[in-house]
Structure 1
Amino acid sequence: MLNLKCDAWLLPTDSTVRIEQHWLRANPDLQGIAAASASKDFRAGTVLAEPVAAWEPADPLPVLTAVPLDGIWDSTAVARRLEAFVRAATGATSSPALRPYRLLAVPFFGTAGGGAGNHLGAMLRGLLDVCANLATKFAVDLVIVLRDKAAFSLAQKLRRDAGGSECWPSLGDELHAKAQGLGKLARSGHLVPFLGAGVSVSAGAPSWRDLLTALRAGVQLDEGAVAAFEKLAVLDQAGVLEQLYIDQHGSRAAFGEAVARAVDLQKYGLAPALLAAVPSSGAITLNYDRLFELACHDAQRPRTVLPENIPAVGNSWLLKLHGSVSQPASIVLTRDDYLGYNSNREALSALVKAHLLTHHLLFVGFGLADDHFHEIVHDVRRALPEGLSEGHHMGTVLSLFHEPLQSMVWKGKLDILSMPAESGAGHLNVDQSKLALAISGRELEVFLDMLGAYATDNHSYLLAPAYDAGLNHTEAQLRAQLLKLAEQPRPPGTEEVWALLDQTLDGLGHSANNEWRES
């Protein structure tokens, strides 16, 4: 949660302002900062939430939120503390620049000794219900961060049971059906995310134009050449800047390092976090930053980054098609880089082409204007037998805009889904257009959230301890039967069969010590 780019986050504590050790990763001095921030009213229990003081404005704001010392933890206690947190967070933060609503992060609090640890299922149900109500009441987005697989799988199951119209009402029936279909593809192992620059925008990553502007600040461009420079295509502008870095800094390495500094962000937005939770053996990106691999690590789904880690170890990989900030010399930015791509990285293109043939690619934050992408798709279509290329759908594009002409160009090849709320943006002024774009960007996050709920294929909540209150009647009966099975004696000669049964029971959350706590 500490790596998520949000506006504020709930910091669980109590009236003594005790901070658990793992939260200190946000700031080694957080304990002292929190103690100095807590008012007399907070320590007395009459105020349940307060923002910490003297915090770096660019960083997500921690909000001290009291967990009851007496162990009393019911739905009313959850609701009171969450509402106090939201009120304090909205009062202490300004409206975000890149989203229509504030993004507030909530951990599975109260489960590590705060009173909810013995009835996690009931706590999770309450948390989901209260967050849904508060999001509407205060016009905020609340993201619940879960580190336990049982909690995550149960939360997704409860949301699926509630239905799309209740949990994702803004999407409409057509996008609901598309999200469910893509979720099914992910469960079967056939969905491969393809990430473009838009995935990193909510974290503050620069656009292509902004990146070139940042690079210009590192070199001197003759005043007489400025007008001619600005008339160049962006690839050629990048080439000019590269040469200026070589001339003025002595090496191309300085150019690559400048690019890396401009895009190497430390906190990811919501889109990478949601994509990281979607099961897939591989993923592809044109981005140089490390946000997606950081999100995957936090989601306990680490990925081997290609091509910098060859041979790949494990089944989950991320292909960084245009280079990485971890290896600045690998970054593809200029026209020469693009023209020399095939000769230098033919094996990487071949991997993309193979997945276009055998998997369904999900393009996110990708404007379909990349020449390299057009070349790959063209080669794939040529590789298909005659008569099959026209009807071969290679993937789905999640677009922030309604693009009827792009849909015409890619008809029969890609399914382009435009997010709602962008209609009429062409008739708006600049600020209104930015707002429409921000709303569409949020809807894309909502779509990914729904896709992720239907992609979840884990049922470890069924036998996990303290989750029984989250089950319906039929599931509770099945749980009881399976727990009886787990207690049966293992007579000689049945070891192999029991090994398979125990593996299944473990996958459903059964454990010998029957204990769990939020880390």
Structure 2
Amino acid sequence: MPHGHVFVAPGDLAHLSSDAVVVPTDRGFHLEPYWYETLGLGDDPSADDAARLRPVEWPADGYGPAPGEAFTAADGDVADGDDDERRRVWFIDVVPTRATGGTDGAAELADRVLRLLEAVAADDALAARTGRLLPLVALPVLGVGKGSLGGARGDVVARLVAACTAFTGRHAIDVVIVARHASDFSAFQDARQALDDSPLPDDLESQARDLAHRARRGELALFVGGGVSMGAGLQGWRDLLAALAERAGSPDLVADLAALSSPLDQAQLLQQELGEDLRRHLRDILGCVRRYALAHALLASLGCDPVVTTNYDTLYEQALGDAVGAGPATLPFDDAQAGEPWVLKMHGDLREGSRPVLSRSDVVGFDSGSGPVGAMVQSLLLTRHLLIVGASLTDDNFLRLAHDVASFRETHTARSRERRPMGTVVALADNPGSRRLWQGRFEFVATHVPSPGHTGRAAQARDLALFLDRVALHASTPRYAADERYEGLLLDDEVRAAHDARRLLAAIDGLPPHARGRWRLVREALEASGASRSPDLDV
């Protein structure tokens, strides 16, 4: 069994799938309203609702789990028997006991976090769910809100990374630090880079760096397939079809479905037998999963624009909305806005009035009924580098579009010139046949590194997350360097440079309005580096 890993992801603790979650509080067990959703308390909980979550003998150690009877109640809207959506809730007092802040307060907090994680590791209630290989513990950026350490975010970041890394080095448990703000996310990535502890072999690390370089240059468009959503607990395509047949309540239909080898023919039979009930059953099944996977959040952090998905679920859109602060437009149902992210639902979704591409007849009629959608995908293949994750190049619609583009490129390419690949397929396992079939047109990255005892779908999914984590780390751009609250991460000369950056920003803002415009680009760069203090970070 491998040791754990420290992931960093943008997003919202309430929406990210995990097996345990750490929520900050104080010695009086005061819960801030922005943690209510994470705790399943609703918008206006009663005092009794909050009190039932209070750990036994709080605050003896400064941390502790919600009582056993509150374990499932913390996700009270989860259907009975749906263990995949339940997670253990732990609380930690993030207020330093000493009347000090800065480095001393961050060190005290990090020590408490490490002791909490050791207690989590000893908790019999901790178990890996939704197909994970190792349990995943999620925690926010602790102590920087009401915990009084907001002015020392750099010290907190450095100490939390060190504490979590020490813990995962001793236990087969993964930890994900969930950052709500871009500056926190990039600060954690820089702190991790300083450790230089990549879990990947050299060849995969090099491929992760190459993709990150493309992301930073704005070259990448993203194609998200169903394999990504399986990390959140959704079924694979064949399992989903089987579940739909079982919901129909007809043993004959289940048997007839199993006799068909093609998933498209299976879906065609289901569509014929179930009619409009098919979409209702699909909504019921997909609606059971309300938290996105770690892979969704890591992909959202890359800033790929635009994004195409064949998935009916909205988990990636939710992750992207949490990462950028606003939900993306969903094409073809919404209008795209200049400068705003959008996601193209290539096969539609399950909203009212939408007819998802599901069966053999849907695929055959895709070109005539969804021509503009196909044209958009082909445009991306021609003008961007398409990063394909969670898809195995077996979708008939996508294959036709890709073959058309490949043929078009070859027809218009001089014999002396070699075309760049249309994209990169990030696959769970190596497929020599696919690599040979698409040689020169798509690059392939097989993220799974099999070893004794490290095989199967759960191991493949974790290896994919490790790879995407490294891409996200290298793709991150520093958005904190000029913010005085992160000085604990800077060298002495950098601290002076950050001070000068803030003075320059103040000088530009003091210029007359007619002159200020000449410095717009400089001002934007200073703001992007954190020279303009964001009050949102105090939350």
* TM-score, structure 1 normalization: 0.89
Alpha-carbon distance, 1:472 to partner = 2.3
Structure 1 CA distance for aligned equivalents of residues 47 and 353 of structure 2:
37
**Match for 1:309 among 334, 352, 372?**
334
Alpha-carbon distance, 1:160 to partner = 3.0
Q: Which runs of 5+ in 1 are unaligned?
A: 247-252, 425-431
2:235 is equivalent to residue 206 of structure 1: yes
Q: Say if 1:24 and 1:30, in contact at 8 Å, map to a contact too.
A: no
Q: How does 1:47-66 map to 2 (within 5 A)?
A: 48-53=63-68, 54-56=70-72, 57=83, 58-66=85-93
2:248 is equivalent to residue 219 of structure 1: yes
Q: Say if 1:256 and 1:328, in contact at 8 Å, map to a contact too.
A: no
2:311 is equivalent to residue 299 of structure 1: no
Structure 1 CA distance for aligned equivalents of residues 361 and 441 of structure 2:
29
SS across alignment from 2:170: helix
* Residue identity opposite 2:281 in structure 1: A
Q: Say if 2:245 and 2:254, in contact at 8 Å, map to a contact too.
A: no
2:360 is equivalent to residue 345 of structure 1: no
SS across alignment from 2:148: coil
2:527 is equivalent to residue 506 of structure 1: yes
Identify which range, 228-237 or 180-189, moves more after superposition.
228-237
Per the alignment, residue 320 of structure 1 pairs with 345
Per the alignment, residue 406 of structure 2 pairs with 381
2:450 is equivalent to residue 422 of structure 1: yes
Q: Say if 1:51 and 1:88, in contact at 8 Å, map to a contact too.
A: no
Per the alignment, residue 8 of structure 1 pairs with 20
Structure 1 CA distance for aligned equivalents of residues 233 and 506 of structure 2:
53
Percent of pairs with identical residues: 29
2:278 is equivalent to residue 258 of structure 1: no
Structure 2 CA distance for aligned equivalents of residues 491 and 287 of structure 1:
50
Note closer, same or farther for the CA distance 1:436–1:122 as it changes in structure 2 (3 Å cut).
Answer: same
Give the aligned length: 497
Note closer, same or farther for the CA distance 1:510–1:35 as it changes in structure 2 (3 Å cut).
Answer: same
Structure 1 CA distance for aligned equivalents of residues 317 and 256 of structure 2:
39
* Residue identity opposite 2:527 in structure 1: D
Note closer, same or farther for the CA distance 1:267–1:88 as it changes in structure 2 (3 Å cut).
Answer: same
Per the alignment, residue 462 of structure 1 pairs with 481
* Residue identity opposite 1:144 in structure 2: I
Identify which range, 285-294 or 301-310, moves more after superposition.
301-310
Note closer, same or farther for the CA distance 1:353–1:31 as it changes in structure 2 (3 Å cut).
Answer: farther
**Match for 2:310 among 270, 286, 296?**
286
Per the alignment, residue 35 of structure 1 pairs with 51
SS across alignment from 1:267: coil
2:379 is equivalent to residue 363 of structure 1: no
Alpha-carbon distance, 1:280 to partner = 1.8
Per the alignment, residue 427 of structure 1 pairs with none
Per the alignment, residue 137 of structure 1 pairs with 170
**Match for 2:113 among 81, 93, 102?**
81
Q: How does 1:91-490 map to 2 (within 5 A)?
A: 91=123, 92-96=125-129, 98-163=131-196, 166=197, 168-169=198-199, 171-221=200-250, 223=252, 227-232=255-260, 233-246=262-275, 253-264=276-287, 265-300=289-324, 302-312=327-337, 314-327=339-352, 329-386=354-411, 388=413, 391-422=419-450, 435-457=455-477, 459-488=478-507, 490=510
Alpha-carbon distance, 1:471 to partner = 1.2
Q: Say if 2:96 and 2:109, in contact at 8 Å, map to a contact too.
A: no
SS across alignment from 1:41: coil
SS across alignment from 1:336: helix
* Residue identity opposite 1:412 in structure 2: G
Alpha-carbon distance, 1:139 to partner = 1.5
* Residue identity opposite 1:64 in structure 2: F
* Residue identity opposite 2:232 in structure 1: A
Structure 2 CA distance for aligned equivalents of residues 14 and 139 of structure 1:
29
Q: Say if 1:460 and 1:509, in contact at 8 Å, map to a contact too.
A: yes
Q: Say if 1:52 and 1:63, in contact at 8 Å, map to a contact too.
A: no
SS across alignment from 1:217: helix
Per the alignment, residue 250 of structure 1 pairs with none
Note closer, same or farther for the CA distance 1:339–1:299 as it changes in structure 2 (3 Å cut).
Answer: same
Identify which range, 177-186 or 95-104, moves more after superposition.
95-104
Structure 2 CA distance for aligned equivalents of residues 256 and 132 of structure 1:
45
* Residue identity opposite 1:439 in structure 2: A
Alpha-carbon distance, 1:260 to partner = 2.2
SS across alignment from 1:64: strand
Note closer, same or farther for the CA distance 1:419–1:333 as it changes in structure 2 (3 Å cut).
Answer: same
Q: Which runs of 5+ in 2 are unaligned?
A: 1-12, 73-82
Structure 1 CA distance for aligned equivalents of residues 511 and 328 of structure 2:
41
Structure 2 CA distance for aligned equivalents of residues 214 and 31 of structure 1:
41
Q: Say if 1:465 and 1:514, in contact at 8 Å, map to a contact too.
A: no
* Residue identity opposite 2:376 in structure 1: L
Alpha-carbon distance, 1:387 to partner = 6.7
Alpha-carbon distance, 1:2 to partner = 0.5
Note closer, same or farther for the CA distance 1:314–1:438 as it changes in structure 2 (3 Å cut).
Answer: same
Q: Say if 2:222 and 2:305, in contact at 8 Å, map to a contact too.
A: no
* Residue identity opposite 1:75 in structure 2: A
* Residue identity opposite 2:163 in structure 1: V
1:3-62 deviation line (CA, Å, top 9, x unaligned): 01100110111222111111111322496455234355323x335222343232532322
1:85-134 deviation line (CA, Å, top 9, x unaligned): 45236512223351111111110111112131221101101111111111
Structure 2 CA distance for aligned equivalents of residues 242 and 422 of structure 1:
39
